């Protein structure tokens, strides 16, 4: 089970927080703070696993994280999850973000936290991994975005036209776009499922 | 009015949206809380509008504020309102806010039941999808109960997307409403064979989570999983299945045997490191669970270790970390295989990554032996000097103690070295396991007889120079944890005071006025042990003084001394004492601050000591030499008996005497109507007895009865008892080969110390010296060995080493012997452990349901193929009328006949060889003498897997 998913930047500002067990807002902030403290003092060339902090649960829990440019993606998981599997899931998450936001950067996460949540919801549900296939994930997100655009109201026709164009763009980008993400260690590339 | 409304709506168009809010927050970094308060006010206004879009916008902003740390449950009703909006866009926003802020204890959730039910059955699969995603975050027991049927319906949806989400949702339902598990399980099992791989994977996921906590209930599914494992190519699912098998194998060894081959194949074939790693992990679990009867046992272990070595040698730190983690699992059962890679592990100790160093430390205990212990510990000590951060240092300290003390100090050949290591550890600043070091000192001193003189010498140095060793930290603020070492030092010096080279100096060192700053528990040990040292000193001192009459030995008694006034102290102060003797008046002076200590324990002991001295001085001033010597001898006798080590949990194992009901009230509990005054006295009595009890416990020794005759009688009785008791460790039974090193020659004599020069204490032994010594010795013994090989075998290594090890480590000498006998009540064993069941608040407790027991009213689904496999009744029925029944293996469609006589199944249409092998298998099982029914059932499982 995944207990929590946190995204924060190099200064510890939260960009996304998802807790799959209930904790008060105060506790959540404390955990984000402590996790940032733990993670940020580690070099980039050390391993991506950390024995769980005291706040987020006992010895059974591990923090598994990745650092991309200005952002830390941290998953807190228990022993039923495969460590390397979760690392790969983080990679899938980031690549999906990259695809949806077209070259994702921190600003996208800052201003569209709701969309990031919707994307995450297609990967993980209630702390369990829902889907790991990027194509499938992207199809689901895209279809929901279409629904939203249809509902956009009065300017339905032009909106649809725009969305069609956008959609074309997206399809194109899907094929063409070369995903260039920072820090992709060779060993992880081999793990590609 | 209508116009106003329109106008209001128009205005609302210019409301802040999420982007504006975030931007505003970034522009108002200095007064963020003020800005947010303002935003919340605006949001409240927006929430009062009728326009759904405006409300949704407000809720989006609230969801953001939640992330920043603001409680938004006050807007719960509005969130629900937005959730119920017909538009998907709004609904999604509402459910997002709900999933972030709602929780199972919220009463508001009641309102959502019907709405969620409606959404779950929506035509639009994404509406049901967002509802499920959110529900999984905040489902409550009530919601779980009310919606479980709706979720079940989703399992048969035509859309794989909904089936997938529904399956995952089931797990959350089970956690909150365990009753749902039993009826839902057959359906869940069906989903393992769903045509959609995503649904399959979700079902595997859920069952793995369930089985992790209650594995025995899911053994019946092994064949299905086995088939999935050999056919699937989805690595995610494979990892989960392989992890599940890891949990199942300890319960069913035969399953493990079946697994080895396909797992080894996977290890050889897969290119995904994550899968490789999980395979290795499960192979290890299998090998641990099967202790005997594996032909390729060693080959598999070797394969694992080889692969792990590749992982550890990889440049990727993650793989290195995991490799070490898996190694530690192998180490517990196959230490030899891991020891072959000692070089690699030692190299990891120097890794720049702390996580990796910690993992390597975990492996270290398996790497040490007699020969390299000193070197490894030396290495760790160097690490400790260099290390930053206290947690890593603490970890190092724990590991040093662990590797040294494991198996009754099996690897320590020279305890002088160990004592000096402990002393050195106690001088490292900022460590937090002082009491651990202290208990090691105590343990070694109590159990290794031969080390006592050396230990006492070192400890007395600690006692005499606490400032030099513990720095100025003594006086300022909270004392460091390492100060607890003084506790051990004081006790050792007091208990074995006969070995003290200068008892008087030690005594005065312990009574230094600055010791008042020590923690109270140490102070009281100090005082008690002052008494012991004094008891040791006085008999020799009293000889040669004048003689006369009576005894008043009340001084040694606890409790009373508290009540006695201390007026006489000043008068006695001036009584003259010869210079070479202990100046009792001086001691009384020192005692003053302790007598007025606020801590009961300290005060009591100080008073006790003081009164004893008073008594002694009185007798001395009257010139009653006989009585004085008698008194002092009596006191010395009181402390003369040997203490034996007692096992940690021994107290718990003492059987409760017959007729004693520990739960019964000794006095009737006070009734409710009792007056307040009696209650207060009650409290007082309680605290008093608690203190008494505590004092007797911490003294570790019974203070004998006051009068002489009683004392004598007790001593007689005890001696008799000791003679009769075969388990009693007599002090005369000293180890024969106590020492090879003559320590007294090596250690320079204690010099007078100037307390103002705190940095070096000359006589304090250095552990490096022993390391050097042992190196020299080993090179010497190597030469000797060629001439006289057998000599060394006489050393008493047998008690601790297994035969093999003796051969390997023949040349290392054991300098000291550990007393391995520990006092235990009859019938108790050291390995007795506490029961470790699931934690009480673990929701999985309620999910421990035997899924093979048929439901009272089995729904039609139980008759499906899948459920039959694990249903014992199914086999029973077929046994009664031996008919041909088609079972399970859908690929080969083999028919299975049930043989009523042996109660087990054989394959009729399978090839002869298979048939034979199966018969062999059956015979084996018969030997195992398991109950016939389960045998039949299990065989069934295994056949399916073949």
Residue B897's DSSP bridge partners are B884, B906
Contacts of B738 (CB under 8 A, 6+ apart): B449, B450, B816, B817
For A50, the token pair is 């950390």
Give which of B663, B694, B524, B697 is closest to B594, Cα–Cα.
Answer: B524
Q: How far is CA B95 from CA A82, B116, B479, B574, in A?
A: 30, 10, 53, 87
Q: What is the mean pLDDT of residues A15-21?
A: 92
Distance CA B101, CA B86 (A): 22
Helix (H, G, I), strand (E, B) or coil at A174: helix
- For residue B319, which residues of chain A lie inside 8 Å, CB to CB? 187
* pLDDT value for B288: 79
Average pLDDT rounded to a whole number, residues A8-16: 92
Give the strand pairing for A62-68 and A71-77: antiparallel
Extended strands (E) in B838-903: 884-886, 895-899
Q: Say what the pLDDT of residue B105 is.
A: 87
Cβ-contact B58, B32 below 8 angstroms: no
- Residue B896's pLDDT is 36
Q: How confident is the model at residue A44 (pLDDT cuts 50, 70, 90)?
A: confident
Q: What HEC string does B641-668 produce?
A: CCCCCECCCHHHHCCCCCCCCCCCCCCC
For A112-130, what is the mean pLDDT? 93
Tell me how close the Cα of A148 comes to any Cα of chain B, in angstroms. 5
Start-to-end CA span in chain A (Å): 20
- Please state, in angstroms and rounded to a whole number, the distance separating the CA atoms of residues B818 and B446: 9
Distances (CA, A) of A10 to A35, A82, B572, B696: 12, 26, 72, 57
Q: Count other Cβ atoms within 10 Å, centred on residue B880.
A: 9
What pLDDT is stored for residue B906 in this prediction? 40
Hey, which residues 28-67 in chain B have their CB within 8 Å of chain A? Answer: 60, 63-64, 66-67
Q: Which one, of B238, B249, B337, lies nearest residue B279 by Cα?
A: B238
Q: Are strands A124-125 and A71-77 parallel, antiparallel or unpaired?
A: unpaired
The whole model's pTM is what?
Answer: 0.66
**Alpha-carbon gap, residue A144 to A131, rounded angstroms:** 16
pLDDT surpasses 90 at A94: yes
Rounded CA separation B568/A168 (Å): 103
In this complex, which of A126, A186, A193 lies closest to B136 when CB atoms are compared?
A: A126
Residues of A in contact with B105 (CB under 8 A): 22
Residue of B nearest to A139 (CA): B161
Instruction: Tell me if B367 sits within 8 A of B376, measured CB to CB.
Output: yes
Q: How far from the centroid of its chain's Cα atoms is residue B640's Cα?
A: 38
Question: Cβ of B198 and A85 within 8 Å?
Answer: no
What is the distance in angstroms between the Cα of A17 and the nearest Cα belonging to chain B?
6
Closest approach of chain A CAs to the CA of B50, in angstroms?
Answer: 17
Rounded-to-integer distance, Cα A6 and Cα B905, Å: 53
A171 band by pLDDT with thresholds 50, 70 and 90: very low
Minimum-distance CB partner of A22 among B103, B165, B235: B103
Q: What is the number of alpha carbons within 13 Å of residue A57 lying toward its C-beta?
A: 20
Helix (H) or strand (E) holding A122: helix A113-123
Confidence band (pLDDT; 50, 70, 90) for A119? very high
Residue B165 and residue A130: Cβ atoms within 8 Å?
Answer: yes
pLDDT at B724: 60
Mapped to the 3 state alphabet, what secondary structure does B18-47 carry?
A: HHHHHHHHHHCCCCHHHHHHHHHHHHHHHH
Looking at chain A, which residue has its C-alpha nearest residue B356? A47
Task: Check CB contact under 8 Å for A187 and B316.
Answer: yes
Gap from B317 CA to chain A (nearest CA, Å): 5
DSSP B737-770: T--SS-HHHHSPPPPP--TT--S--TTS--HHHH
Distance separating alpha carbons of residues B141 and B826, to the nearest angstrom = 49
Has residue A25 got a pLDDT over 80? yes
Task: List B residues 148-187 in contact with A (Cβ-Cβ < 8 A).
Answer: 161, 164-165, 168-169, 171-172
Residue B478 is predicted with a pLDDT of 56
CA-nearest residue to B133 within chain A is: A125
Contact A128 B171 (CB under 8 A): yes
Q: Pick A25's closest partner by Cβ from B69, B236, B356.
A: B69
pLDDT value, residue B461: 85
Distance from B70 to chain A by nearest Cα, in Å? 6
Q: Tell me the torsion sign for CA atoms B654, B660, B665, B667.
A: negative
Q: Name residues whose C-beta falls within 8 Å of residue B621's C-beta, 6 or more positions apart in sequence.
A: B575
- For residue A106, the Cα-to-chain-centroid distance in whole angstroms is 12
Q: What is the ipTM of this complex?
A: 0.83
φ, ψ of residue B936 to 5 degrees: the values are: -60, -45
What is the phi/psi pair of residue B731, to 5°?
-70, -20
Query: What's the pLDDT at B622?
Result: 80
Distance CA B584, CA B588 (A): 6
- The string over B927-937, giving b where at least 16 C-beta atoms fall within 10 Å of a residue's C-beta and e elsewhere, is eeeeeeeebbb
Report, as ranges of residue numbers, the positions in chain B whose pLDDT lies below 70. Answer: 1-15, 291-296, 468-479, 541-582, 648, 671-711, 713-714, 718-765, 775, 777-843, 852-946
Alpha carbon distance B43, B79 (integer Å): 12
Q: Considering only CA atoms, which of B705, B639, B703 is closest in space to residue B493? A: B639
* Pick from B604, B564, B593: nearest CA to B688: B604
């Amino acid at each position: 089970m995944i207990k929590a998913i946190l995204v924060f930047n190099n200064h510890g500002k939260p960009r996304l927080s998802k807790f799959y067990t209930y904790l008060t807002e105060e506790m959540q902030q404390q955990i984000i703070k402590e996790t940032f403290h733990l993670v940020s003092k580690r070099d980039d060339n050390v391993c991506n696993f950390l024995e769980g902090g005291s706040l987020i649960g006992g010895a059974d829990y591990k923090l598994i994280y990745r650092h991309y440019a200005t952002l830390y993606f941290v998953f807190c998981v228990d022993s039923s999850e495969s460590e390397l599997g979760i690392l790969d899931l983080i990679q899938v998450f980031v690549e999906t973000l990259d695809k949806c936001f077209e070259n994702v950067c921190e600003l996208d996460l800052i201003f569209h936290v709701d969309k990031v949540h919707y994307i995450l919801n297609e990967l993980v549900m209630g702390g369990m991994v829902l889907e790991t296939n990027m194509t499938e994930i992207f199809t689901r997100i895209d279809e929901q975005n279409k629904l939203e655009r249809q509902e956009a109201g009065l300017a339905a026709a032009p909106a649809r036209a725009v969305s069609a164009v956008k959609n074309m763009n997206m399809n194109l980008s899907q094929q063409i776009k070369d995903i260039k993400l920072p820090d992709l260690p060779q060993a992880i590339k081999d793990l590609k499922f | 009015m209508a116009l106003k409304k329109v106008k209001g709506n128009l205005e609302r168009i210019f409301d802040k949206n999420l982007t504006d809010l975030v931007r505003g927050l970034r522009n108002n970094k200095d007064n963020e809380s003020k800005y947010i308060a303002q935003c919340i006010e605006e949001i409240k206004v927006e929430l009062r509008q009728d326009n759904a879009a405006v409300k949704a916008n407000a809720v989006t902003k609230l969801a953001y504020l939640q992330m920043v740390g603001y409680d938004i449950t006050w807007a719960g009703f509005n969130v629900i309102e937005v959730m119920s909006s017909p538009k998907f866009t709004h609904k999604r926003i509402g459910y997002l806010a709900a999933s972030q802020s709602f929780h199972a204890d919220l009463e508001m959730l009641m309102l959502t039941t019907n709405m969620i039910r409606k959404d779950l059955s929506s035509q639009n699969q994404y509406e049901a999808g967002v509802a499920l995603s959110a529900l999984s975050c905040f489902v409550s027991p009530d919601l779980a109960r009310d919606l479980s049927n709706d979720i079940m319906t989703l399992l048969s949806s035509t859309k794989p997307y909904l089936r997938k989400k529904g399956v995952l949702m089931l797990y959350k339902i089970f956690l909150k409403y365990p009753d749902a598990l039993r009826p839902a399980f057959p359906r869940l099992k069906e989903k393992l064979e769903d045509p959609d791989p995503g649904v399959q994977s979700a079902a595997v996921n859920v069952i793995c989570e369930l089985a992790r906590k209650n594995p025995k209930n899911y053994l019946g599914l092994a064949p299905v999983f086995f088939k999935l494992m050999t056919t699937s190519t989805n690595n995610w699912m494979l990892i989960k299945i392989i992890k599940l098998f890891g949990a199942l194998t300890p319960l069913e060894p035969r399953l493990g045997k079946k697994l080895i081959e396909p797992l080894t194949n996977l290890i050889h074939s897969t290119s995904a490191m994550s899968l490789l790693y999980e395979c290795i992990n499960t192979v290890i679990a299998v090998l641990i669970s099967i202790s005997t009867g594996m032909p390729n046992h060693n080959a598999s272990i070797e394969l694992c270790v080889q692969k792990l070595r590749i992982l550890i040698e990889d440049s990727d730190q993650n793989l290195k970390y995991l490799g070490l983690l898996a190694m530690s699992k192998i180490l517990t059962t196959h230490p030899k295989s891991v020891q072959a890679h000692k070089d690699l592990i030692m190299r990891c100790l120097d890794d720049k990554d702390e996580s990796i160093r910690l993992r390597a430390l975990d492996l270290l205990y398996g790497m040490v032996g007699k020969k390299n212990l000193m070197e490894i510990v030396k290495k760790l000590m160097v690490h400790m000097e260099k290390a930053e951060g206290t947690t890593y240092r603490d970890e190092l300290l724990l590991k040093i103690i662990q590797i040294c003390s494991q198996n009754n100090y099996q690897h320590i050949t020279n305890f002088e070295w160990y004592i000096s290591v402990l002393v050195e550890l106690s001088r490292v600043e900022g460590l937090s396991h002082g009491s651990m070091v202290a208990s090691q000192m105590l343990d070694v001193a109590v159990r290794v007889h031969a080390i006592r003189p050396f230990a006492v010498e070192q400890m007395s140095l600690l006692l005499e120079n606490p400032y030099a060793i513990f720095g100025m930290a003594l006086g300022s603020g909270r004392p460091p944890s390492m100060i607890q070492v003084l506790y051990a030092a004081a006790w050792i010096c007091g208990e074995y005071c006969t070995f003290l080279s200068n008892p008087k100096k030690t005594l005065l060192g312990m009574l230094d006025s600055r010791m008042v700053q020590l923690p109270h528990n140490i102070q009281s040990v100090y005082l008690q042990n002052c008494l012991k040292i004094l008891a040791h000193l006085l008999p020799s001192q009293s000889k040669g003084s004048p003689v006369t009459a009576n005894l008043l030995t009340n001084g040694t008694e606890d409790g009373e001394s508290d009540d006695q006034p201390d007026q006489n102290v000043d008068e006695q102060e001036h009584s003259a004492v010869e210079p070479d003797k202990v100046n009792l008046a001086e001691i009384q002076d020192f005692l003053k601050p302790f007598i007025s200590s606020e801590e009961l324990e300290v005060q009591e002991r100080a008073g006790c000591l003081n009164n004893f001295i008073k008594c002694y001085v009185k007798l001395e001033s009257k010139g009653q030499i006989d009585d004085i010597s008698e008194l002092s001898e009596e006191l010395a006798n009181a402390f003369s008996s040997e203490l034996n080590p007692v096992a940690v949990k021994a107290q718990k194992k003492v059987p409760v005497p017959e007729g004693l009901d520990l739960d019964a009230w000794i006095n009737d509990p006070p009734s409710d109507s009792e007056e307040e005054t009696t209650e207060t006295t009650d409290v007082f009595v309680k605290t008093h007895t608690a203190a008494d009890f505590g004092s007797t416990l911490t003294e570790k020794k019974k203070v004998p009865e006051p009068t002489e005759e009683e004392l004598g009688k007790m001593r007689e009785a005890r001696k008799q008892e000791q003679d009769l008791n075969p388990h009693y460790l007599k002090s005369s039974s000293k180890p024969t080969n106590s020492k090879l090193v003559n320590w007294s020659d090596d250690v320079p004599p204690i010099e007078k110390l100037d307390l103002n020069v705190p940095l070096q204490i000359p006589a304090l032994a250095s552990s490096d010296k022993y390391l050097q010594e042992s190196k020299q010795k080993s090179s010497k013994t190597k030469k000797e060995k060629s001439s006289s090989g057998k000599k060394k075998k006489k050393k008493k290594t047998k008690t601790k080493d297994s035969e093999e090890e003796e051969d390997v480590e023949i040349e290392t000498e054991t300098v000291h012997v550990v007393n391995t006998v520990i006092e235990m009540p009859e019938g108790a064993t050291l390995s007795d452990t506490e029961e470790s069941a699931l934690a009480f608040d673990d929701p999985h407790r309620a999910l421990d349901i035997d899924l093979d027991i048929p439901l009272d009213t089995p729904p039609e689904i139980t008759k499906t193929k899948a459920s039959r496999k694990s249903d014992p009744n199914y086999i029973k029925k077929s046994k009664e009328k031996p008919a041909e029944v088609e079972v399970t293996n859908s690929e080969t469609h083999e028919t299975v006949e049930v043989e009523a006589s042996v109660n087990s199944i054989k394959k009729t249409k399978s090839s002869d060889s298979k048939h034979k092998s199966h018969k062999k298998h059956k015979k084996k099982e018969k030997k195992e003498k398991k109950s016939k029914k389960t045998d039949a059932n299990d065989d069934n499982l295994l056949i399916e897997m073949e």
